[in-house]
Amino acid sequence: MKIPKVIKNGYVMKKGKESGPTSVIIAGNHGNEACGIKAFEKILPTLVVEKGTVFFVLGNPEAIQQNKRFTEANLNRMFRKASTYSAKIKKTYEYKRAQFIKMIMKEAEVCLDIHSTTNKSVPFIICEKNAKNIVQYFPKNFTKTVSGFGDIEPGATDDYMNLQGKVGICVECGQHEDPKAEKVALDTISMFLQTRGHIKSKKVLKIQTRKHIQMDTLYYSKTDSFTLVKKLDDFYEAKKGEVIAHDGGKEVKMKKDSIVVFAHDRNKKGEEAFLLGRWVKK
């Protein structure tokens, strides 16, 4: 994928004539997730920020150009303290890129990170309670909010912001190839800018009611051969005792009724294989 001409040096800053909040919007943290990048291409040429400052950041330019999730390491696990990472990881392009993005995020109160998924999935929002006053106005395409990622899958941009006492939001706009994902990303950016006060409201934003899931478990593959028994769409409802995968020939059985997210076959020990959560009342 080509880097959009409207974005030079990996980011664009739009500053309004009036003082106001500062926000960061990131697309392409994973280079093969095109919806946010395409949304940037459409919105940036004509966007006029009226209040405050907005940074539009291409997360992983090298991976975007190669149309790969990442080049050396998962960028969206690189935003924790330096002491968390090995000397080998610190030499990677993604780790160094994360340090640059951190400098931008330090300037902002809120960060919106735009993603899409490999699995068949409905759009959903990853956030904590501190984001409620913003995400409640996001498009109705988002039928679910999900929390708890920072505790079990640390190092993402939203995790970083939340640890700084700020607000981090990640939106999963649908499956990579779904043509609707770009529209979801574009609408989300527009509503985010309005909610943050950067642009005047073009229409009355309505509060949306959504189901909520609390994530509580991340399963890492224990062998070099983790295979799902069948392809699992995100939010698959697995029953207690159900076998969902084999890990080195051993059955991976559910200990309780669970919601399964981001389940993938893995061919290397220690990789993120799936996450589990549960429905909760907000």
| 79-91 pLDDT tens trace | 999 999 999 999 9
pLDDT for the residue numbered 16:
97
Fold of 11-195: Aminopeptidase (3.40.630)
Looking at domain 214-280, does it have CATH number 2.40.50? yes
- pLDDT exceeds 90 at position 5: no
Q: What contacts 128, CB < 8 A, 6 or more positions away?
A: 147, 150, 162, 168
Q: What contacts 14, CB < 8 A, 6 or more positions away?
A: 44, 47, 48, 49, 53, 54, 55, 56
The span from the CA of 177 to the CA of 167, in Å, is 29
Sequence spans of domains, the chain: 11-195, 214-280
pLDDT for the residue numbered 37:
96
List strands edge to edge, sheet with 226-228. 226-228, 243-247, 250-253
Comparing CA positions, the residue from 252, 247, 270, 261 lying closest to residue 74 is 270
For a pLDDT cut of 70, what percent of the chain falls above it?
99
pLDDT for the residue numbered 120:
86
For a pLDDT cut of 90, what percent of the chain falls above it?
91
- pLDDT exceeds 80 at position 275: yes
Confidence of residue 282 (pLDDT cuts 50, 70, 90): low
| Average pLDDT score, the chain | 96
The span from the CA of 178 to the CA of 158, in Å, is 24
User: What average pLDDT does the segment 55-79 reach?
Assistant: 97
CB–CB of 139/57 below 8 Å? no
Q: Do domains 11-195 and 214-280 have the same CATH topology?
A: no
Is this structure's pTM higher than 0.85? yes
Q: Would you say how long the chain is, in residues? A: 282
- In Å, what is the CA distance from 254 to each residue of 35, 234, 239, 260? 33, 16, 7, 10
Q: Residues 211, 174, 31, 11: is their CA dihedral positive or negative?
A: negative
End-to-end CA distance of the chain: 39
Tokens linked to 37: 């990048």
